[in-house]
Structure 1
Amino acid sequence: MRAAVVTNTKFHVEELPTPVPGRGQVLINVSRCGICGSDLHARMHADAMADLADATGYDQFMRSSQSVVLGHEFSGEIAEYGPGCRRRWTSGTPVVALPIVRQAKQPQLVGLSAAAPGGYAEQVVVQESMTLPVPNGLSAEYAALTEPMAVAWHAVRKARIGKGQTAFVIGCGPIGLAVIGMLKAAGVRTVVASDFSPRRRELALRCGADVVVDPATESPWTAGAKPGGKGVTDILNLGFDAMERLRQVPNLPWWYVFRLAHTFNVGPSGPVVFECVGVPGIIDQIVTAAPPRSRVVVVGVCMQDDHFQPAMAINKEIELLFAFAYDPGEFRDTLHMLADGKVNPAPLITGTVGLDGVDNAFTALGNPEHHAKILIDPASAAVTP
């Protein structure tokens, strides 16, 4: 089979042996594969990413000296089963799969490990138990976005955001755009998106953002401000007002009111902020500028050392969360949300190339004014997106 292989940051297309699915595994013919920001990082900074993965307990992440087939955002069709499979679907059935396989009880990240070649190829091996049929005639292009949209859905679910809360999305690259789409699918009524790039702001609107902001000229916090309390002083005054009213009621055990408020998580709360940039200094900027009691979900992957002021976060009771990947249930739900039309991924797709165009696609993705998500079609002869 043909595959785009990266070695020491250089891409080359090779003819590789047809992969052989192991026990409980399936070989699929790749229809489309998306280029992820993680792929861009892995190409240039594989060793740093491998060291980080090793420190967190996964020692199989690709190294720059290895020859690796990238690609973990793919859709395809059933081609062949390995031994021990239940053979759930007939040959040619459109499917997607979580990009993880298990070999000798060792998990391998498909497309990010030399032991598990990815979807920048005509075929890829996946785990049958992690494979899902594509429902409702969903196109191969949209089905390939299940993986990145599942990352966004996990972040939105982790945020525990209410429909009436304001969501701020800082950074409108592919993951920020996916978060916007999933926030609107979740029914969040007000989404404020911020990015320096005019092109990305345009895509944010197409993904459903209610307000878009150029942070060079306008503060997203001002654009998304709601009437009422805006600072610590306002929250303290709210406490005074509440106590004065409660103490006017004779024999009322007012402290039970506060206990109930804690139990049901009601009371003054700030917006939910999604950090989707992943460069040093952004978390500190958000902690400093966001309203009190904001919940900040960090989705952007920063590979460098960073810092923020804990005292600022403490004084404002900022809740800081970090989101990574998804679980199988979230992956399945994302696929069905796409297939049911609850979220529209079309604005994310800005180009398609064949295997011979992978290197050009990586170069093109370096300019935020042109592309968001480029898909690879192994059957295509296109060399420019």
Structure 2
Amino acid sequence: MSTAVSGRAVRWYGPKDLRLETVHLPAPGAGEVLVRVAYCGVCGSDLHEIADGPHAIPVDRPHPLSGAVAPLTLGHEFSGVVAATGPGVEGLPEGAPVALEPNYRCGRCTACREGRTEVCAAFGFAGLMGDGGMAEYALVPAYMVHRLPDGFDLAVAAVLEPAAVALHAVRRSTFSAGQTAVVVGLGPVGLIVCALLREAGAARIIGLDPVPARRELARRFGVDAVLGPDADAVEELTGGNGAHVAFEVVGSQAAVDVALSSLRSGGELLLLGLVDTLVLPAFDMVNAELRITTSVGYRDCHPELVRLVTAGRLDLAALVSDVVALADAPAVLLDMAAGAPAGIKTLVRCGEDR
């Protein structure tokens, strides 16, 4: 019979105020799963909240689906094993390895009824709008939980969430095999976009990023040419034609400008980066019949990603640059949020990975 548990968690109280605390979780209720967390990735969204939030974290009113309000447990990129399940949950036996698709969904709004759960009217992420997985235990709705094949590397499984962001963006785009693509921003999501474009048959992939370490890693992810943020060089590499699709994975005016200028007539800009407002060259865009497509979150991506990883066709392990202990996470995250140098993807080891 399921019982309540206690475990340590990294809790957000306010900007620059993180605390490692012991939290008490009830036994899972109907449709809920208790996960013993193995690893949790650190996302830029986490660092923004730590640096100068709240941005997404509810502090005045509880989130309509999670019911949570700060302080709350950070972390939405996590994996682990099933510790217990509540009534009505099937196919998730105790000890099964799992990855989390941490977006809340109401199931009732127009978007949910149309199957577009990533834009649910009450959209939110566990770890930002509700308690997440930077903890020894996490209690989540069963619909967030993806069972993994036995023996699946749980450190890699913690990277499936940003990989899902990348796959959803590629699916949202008009990209097709034989085309040329530009990816502006070679962080974890941008690098995975590159790998997925290569898997989908890109004729040429050109990656742009100002950070040398990211440019060095890019070739491992299928990038043919790696540049600093110089769109003029893109034109030279494409014989003056430009790219069919440009993925902007930074979230800045400068990156959007570079992405747009890299496109050929009739090309598409896929916006993944988050930015409040943009200035667009509408006249030039209309005359070139350029398209803009946006992408947020994901849906139904994890099964395909698991197949690609299992088949050895997607190397997510190459993204993991640092692993820190849960006890050290508050200090490490505060340093990262303050701008300390960091690798490609930092994972927090929250518990046993088996």
Q: Structure 1 length as normaliser, TM-score?
A: 0.77
State the alpha-carbon separation in 2 of the partners of residues 215 and 208 from structure 1.
Answer: 18
Q: CA deviation at 1:369?
A: 6.0
The residue identity in structure 1 corresponding to 2:322 is G
2:190 aligned partner? 176
- Deviation string, structure 1 residues 40-96 (Cα, Å, up to 9, x no partner): 223334444469xx9xxx767999x8211111111110101112222x232111111
Q: Secondary structure at the match of 2:18?
A: strand
Q: Is the 8 A contact 1:281 1:308 kept in 2?
A: no
1:230 aligned partner? 241
State the alpha-carbon separation in 2 of the partners of residues 71 and 140 from structure 1.
Answer: 15
The residue identity in structure 2 corresponding to 1:149 is A
> Greater strand percent: which structure?
2
State the alpha-carbon separation in 2 of the partners of residues 315 and 276 from structure 1.
Answer: 25
Query: Which has the greater radius of gyration?
Result: 1
Which of 192, 203, 207 is residue 221 of structure 2 equivalent to? 207
The residue identity in structure 2 corresponding to 1:318 is L
1:97 aligned partner? 100
1:187 aligned partner? 201
1:71 and 2:75 are equivalent in the alignment? yes
Q: CA deviation at 1:19?
A: 4.3
1:31 aligned partner? 38
Q: Secondary structure at the match of 2:24?
A: coil
State the alpha-carbon separation in 2 of the partners of residues 374 and 41 from structure 1.
Answer: 15
- Deviation string, structure 1 residues 268-311 (Cα, Å, up to 9, x no partner): xx511000111133323433453211111011112x33211211
State the alpha-carbon separation in 2 of the partners of residues 316 and 124 from structure 1.
Answer: 49
Q: Secondary structure at the match of 1:294?
A: strand
Are the structure 2 counterparts of residues 179 and 193 from structure 1 closer, same or farther at C-alpha, using a change threshold of 3 Å? same
1:371 aligned partner? 343
The residue identity in structure 1 corresponding to 2:98 is V
2:257 aligned partner? 284
State the alpha-carbon separation in 1 of the partners of residues 348 and 288 from structure 2.
Answer: 45
Pairs within 5 Å for 1:34-49: 34-49=41-56
2:118 aligned partner? none
1:4 aligned partner? 10
State the alpha-carbon separation in 2 of the partners of residues 169 and 118 from structure 1.
Answer: 30
The residue identity in structure 2 corresponding to 1:135 is P
Pairs within 5 Å for 1:129-148: 129-135=143-149, 137-148=151-162
The residue identity in structure 2 corresponding to 1:221 is V
Q: Is the 8 A contact 1:181 1:345 kept in 2?
A: no
The residue identity in structure 1 corresponding to 2:344 is A
1:354 and 2:342 are equivalent in the alignment? no
Q: Is the 8 A contact 1:136 1:340 kept in 2?
A: no
Q: Is the 8 A contact 2:205 2:225 kept in 1?
A: yes
- Deviation string, structure 1 residues 319-340 (Cα, Å, up to 9, x no partner): 111111111x222212222222
State the alpha-carbon separation in 2 of the partners of residues 356 and 214 from structure 1.
Answer: 37
Q: CA deviation at 1:140?
A: 0.5
The residue identity in structure 2 corresponding to 1:121 is A
Indicate the RMSD between aligned Cα atoms, in angstroms: 2.8
Structure 2 residue runs without a partner (length 5+): 1-6, 109-121
1:297 and 2:308 are equivalent in the alignment? no
State the alpha-carbon separation in 1 of the partners of residues 342 and 179 from structure 2.
Answer: 32
Q: CA deviation at 1:366?
A: 6.3
Identity of aligned residues (%): 30
Pairs within 5 Å for 1:159-170: 159-170=173-184
Are the structure 2 counterparts of residues 336 and 374 from structure 1 closer, same or farther at C-alpha, using a change threshold of 3 Å? same
Q: Is the 8 A contact 2:34 2:140 kept in 1?
A: yes
1:239 aligned partner? none
Q: Secondary structure at the match of 1:356?
A: helix
State the alpha-carbon separation in 2 of the partners of residues 193 and 72 from structure 1.
Answer: 27
Which of 85, 88, 97 is residue 84 of structure 1 equivalent to? 88
Structure 1 residue runs without a partner (length 5+): 232-269, 381-385
Q: Is the 8 A contact 2:146 2:302 kept in 1?
A: no
The residue identity in structure 1 corresponding to 2:211 is S
Q: CA deviation at 1:134?
A: 1.0
State the alpha-carbon separation in 1 of the partners of residues 54 and 349 from structure 2.
Answer: 28
1:20 and 2:31 are equivalent in the alignment? no
